[in-house]
Amino acid sequence: MPQYELDDIREAREDRDRAEDRLDLAVAIARDKGDSWEAIGRALGVAKQSAWEKYGKSFEEPHPPAS
The pLDDT tens digits of the residues spanning 8-66 come to 999 999 999 999 999 999 999 999 999 999 999 999 999 999 999 999 877 666 666 66
C-alpha distances (whole Å) from 30 to each of 8, 41, 47 are 33, 11, 16
For the stretch 19-26, contacts whose Cβ atoms lie closer than 8 Å and that sit 24 or more positions apart, written own/partner, are: 24/55, 24/58
Name the nearest CA neighbour of 41 among 1, 12, 31. 31
Write down the domain spans for the chain: 3-59
pTM score, whole prediction: 0.78
